[in-house]
Structure 1
Amino acid sequence: MSAIKSYFKQEVKTSMLSLEHPKRTDFYLSCWQTTRSAVPVLIWRLILFLATLGIVLASAIIYILNGKFAYWFIYLTHWGLTSILLTTGFGVGVSARIYFYGPISAEFSLPWYVKTYWVLFNIATPVAFLITIFYWTLLFEAGIEEELNHGLDVAVHGLNSLIMLLLLLSSSQPSRLLHIYQPINFALVYMVFGVIYHFAGGTDQKGNAYIYPVVDWSQPGTTILVVVITGLLLICLHLLTMALSVARDSLSKRCVNNSVIVHVDEGMALRQQVYA
């Protein structure tokens, strides 16, 4: 209990609002590896990026073929997929940058591309979980499909969370309590978009005067309740992301033999350490 209390006491410090972290290697090395080579994480992130790109392209192409591509942009699922694509893409970029040019210096602030990756990760992970839960608890039972292909619709609302879970469990970067403002801001932007879209006369792909029937702004009372509950769920999922990060780090410390880690010159490009 004292360890938990100490952990949360550390997490609520105002300094934790920032995008700074003393251990730079947490952003490009896995907590499960025993070398300082950037290659394993680079390859893994590239696989996840290509998988996400394939899902996004498949979804977008089907919308284009049906002449409804403009509607692709109104759904939270596709906003979430876009955030996953950007997260995995920036993850590949961070790993590639380290591989070709060497580790990040601890003398300066975290580079903008690392901070961008961190923010995108903080947003995409709980939002992916939220979208999966939202779909399988509310939309699926109601027979509502965002995708124009049933198989893809089912896959999209499961693979999104799987990709982010795999990225989370294979990474080392921390998840901070006070970074909750990042996914919350993302959700608020989507909510504002939904309100503007509704009152501007926007419809879903079938011509209904809403994006989701459970979020119909012509019935503000019910919709506001759904929005509040969804916001609370998003906070819980951010806490779940934190818990998974802590469990990942704790388990990896028990399983990985840190004594065999190879320490290299911090100024040396890690592409030279592939076989370290």
Structure 2
Amino acid sequence: MCIVIQYCDGKFFIYMTNWGFGLCTITMLISAVQVTCWHFDLRNTRSLVQESAHKAETSRGLKVYWWLYNMTLSLALIISTVYWVFLHGKMNKPMRFPAISIITHGLNSVMMLIDFLVVAFPLRILHMVYGMSLAIFFFVFTLVYHLCGGTDEFGNPYIYPILDWKNPNRCLVTFVGIFLLIICYWMLLFGLYKLKRMFNRAFSVVWTPHAVGLI
């Protein structure tokens, strides 16, 4: 629905918000597939893990899910924070679809945080580089887009006002700020992950190494 309503001759795809929400959707679909395979024990996935005396080998599909999950989790929080703090009401264009804006700038983080609190997925400190890599890629994309004369759907010569390359100093400050936000959010999430592990071991009667994930 977002693509159909906001396509605007392809301008839909220039926004980080839509990149992030698309990644959320793909991540959740892969998650649904993984949970379904586990629940119905397809290819004896659950049986092999429960019967094995050693830690089960991580499947390729689960590795892809883990990679997307790490990238999408931090990206969702960054998108919500940057939009509501720095961009909401300051985009120099009318808000045509406020309901969609709330979904793509708020529900994305809610969805990923609920998933993070419910699913026993491990976090690694160094995996913050996935979110940073995507931020670098988008940063370079905005520069190339500007140099090619790209505009938003209302003719403004930028994708976001805080990434207007007519003011490169502001772009650099934005870039550094987003990197710092990624680090702060990831350290907070890592702390919550450790707290989840502690509570799980303290209160789960049937705890086993396999009960906290396959990775």
Taking structure 2 as the reference length, the TM-score comes to 0.84
Alpha-carbon distance in 2 for matches of 1:146, 1:93: 38
Match of 2:213 in 1: none
User: 1:114-263 alignment to 2 at 5 Å?
Assistant: 114-142=62-90, 148-258=96-206
Look up the SS of the partner of 2:117 in the other structure. helix
Counterpart position of 1:70? 10
Contact 2:18–2:104 under 8 Å retained in 1: no
Instruction: Indicate the structure whose relative CO is greater, using CA pairs within 8 Å and at least 6 residues apart.
Output: 1
Are 1:102 and 2:50 counterparts? no
Cα 1:81/1:60, change in 2 over 3 Å: same
Distance change (3 Å), C-alpha of 1:108 and 1:140:
same
Q: Are residues 148 and 249 of structure 1, via their aligned partners in 2, closer, same or farther at CA, if it must alter by over 3 Å?
A: farther
Aligned AA (1:70): G
1:61 aligned to 2:4? yes
**Counterparts of 2:171 and 2:97, CA distance in 1:** 27
Equivalent position SS for 2:162: coil
Q: Kindly provide the CA deviation profile for residues 9-46 of structure 1, in whole angstroms up to 9, marking residues without a partner as x.
A: xxxxxxxxxxxxxxxxxxxxxxxxxxxxxxxxxxxxxx
Of Structure 1 and Structure 2, the greater helix share is in 2
Aligned Cα root-mean-square deviation (Å): 2.3
Mapped partners of 2:118, 2:56: distance in 1: 26
State the alpha-carbon separation in 2 of the partners of residues 178 and 150 from structure 1: 36
1:52-99 alpha-carbon deviations (Å, 9 max, x no partner): xxxxxx3212114xxx15111011111101111111111122222333
Structure 2: state its 5+ residue gaps.
Answer: 211-215
Conserved? CA contact 2:15–2:159, under 8 Å = yes
Q: How many residues align?
A: 201
1:185 match: secondary structure: helix
d(CA) in 2 for partners of 1:147 and 1:115?
Answer: 38
1:107 to 1:232, Cα distance in 2 relative to 1, 3 A: closer
Determine if contact 1:75/1:146 at 8 Å carries over to the other structure: no
Q: Contact (CA 8 Å) 1:63, 1:148: kept in 2 or not?
A: no
Pairing 1:91–2:31 present: yes
Distance 2:111 2:103 in 1: 12
In structure 1, stretches of 5+ residues that fail to align are 1-57, 264-276
What's the TM-score, normalizing by structure 1?
0.67
Percent of pairs identical after alignment?
28
